[in-house]
A and B are shown apart, each in its own frame.
Chain A
């Protein structure tokens, strides 16, 4: 499995799970969560349903996850479609900047069984 295949698979998963959420927007209203499925979070990640955690949780609603997926796909695409420009012209050793960027993007998934330790920056 290549780094790009790995990243593509993880991004597909993130998108799938975000799209499967009942609501896309989670907000904070009167110091309390608004829009998120309390039943789901209370049984899976209890810390995130406490009112004092509403700000953090709302920052990472499914809409945000989808935006992150889109952003990372653009970077993966740029690194793939432009193998010789603009960064590869000044490859530092064997690691060009595009590849370094992709390795950084793979870090949050380092505990996945398909993650190759050789990809660690």
Chain B
């Protein structure tokens, strides 16, 4: 299993779980809507979270990464990053096949960190650890 295959599988899992949650219980409130509704700013949410821990009614768990909307946005961002690295690697290989600037080196810097949050998965290869 390659690093990209591993990442793609984990992102598909994240996406599937988030979409299932949204299907069962649609969440109409985006982060921006939540902040507007409670008339608080991002900075204020963070300040309160720091001062009083998270246990207060007006902290949006979007900030903690639980919201399916946030998760889907993260999945999309990571897929774009993977696509760019793959396209770039193909470009580099096409330009100069013998160059040391091969996919592995690019992936080491830009993709390997993305796999870290899944390091406890049985398919994770310790060789990917940055």
Contacts and interface: CB of A to CB of B under 8 A. Distances in A.
A88 B110 CA distance: 13
Nearest to B16: A56
B68 A68 contact: no
Main secondary structure of the interface of A (DSSP, over half): helix
Contacts, number: 169
Contacts of A18: 64-65
Interface in B83-97: 84-85, 88, 91-92, 95
B17 interface: yes
Interface residues of A, number: 59
Interface of B: 13-14, 17-18, 20-21, 24-25, 27, 30-32, 42, 45-46, 49-50, 53-68, 70-71, 73-74, 76-78, 80-81, 84-85, 88, 91-92, 95, 100-101, 105-106, 109-110, 113-117, 119, 130
